[in-house]
């Protein structure tokens, strides 16, 4: 019997072009395909949660102002210029 909390396994089908890009990205990041896919899924879920939080905030307080949107775009650009860290398996 496995010890600890083993990760569940998924069997997925992806478009051949996407598959090739996943392999290349995982190799560039020096991580396994599983680690790369887990990180990609984690980022997608974080984006969804962030968008849901923004929608809730705007529902309660109204839309963001033009100035707030300009500042948000600046922040996003700055974050995109910062190298991402990919979690590597232990």
Predicted confidence pLDDT, tens digits, the chain (90 residues): 567 788 899 999 999 999 999 999 999 999 999 999 999 999 999 999 999 999 999 999 999 999 999 999 999 999 888 776 655 555
Enumerate the domain spans of the chain: 16-81
pLDDT confidence of residue 42: 96
Question: pTM score, two decimals?
Answer: 0.69
Residues 6+ apart with CB under 8 A from 35: 26, 86, 87, 88, 89
């Amino acid at each position: 019997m496995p010890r600890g909390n083993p990760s569940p396994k998924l069997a997925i089908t992806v478009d051949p072009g996407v598959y090739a890009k996943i392999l290349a990205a995982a190799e560039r990041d020096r991580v396994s395909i599983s680690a790369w896919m887990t990180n990609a899924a984690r980022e997608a879920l974080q984006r969804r949660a962030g968008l849901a939080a923004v929608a809730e905030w705007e529902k309660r307080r109204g839309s963001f102002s033009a100035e707030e949107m300009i500042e948000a775009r600046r922040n996003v650009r700055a974050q995109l210029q910062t190298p991402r860290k990919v979690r590597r398996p232990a």
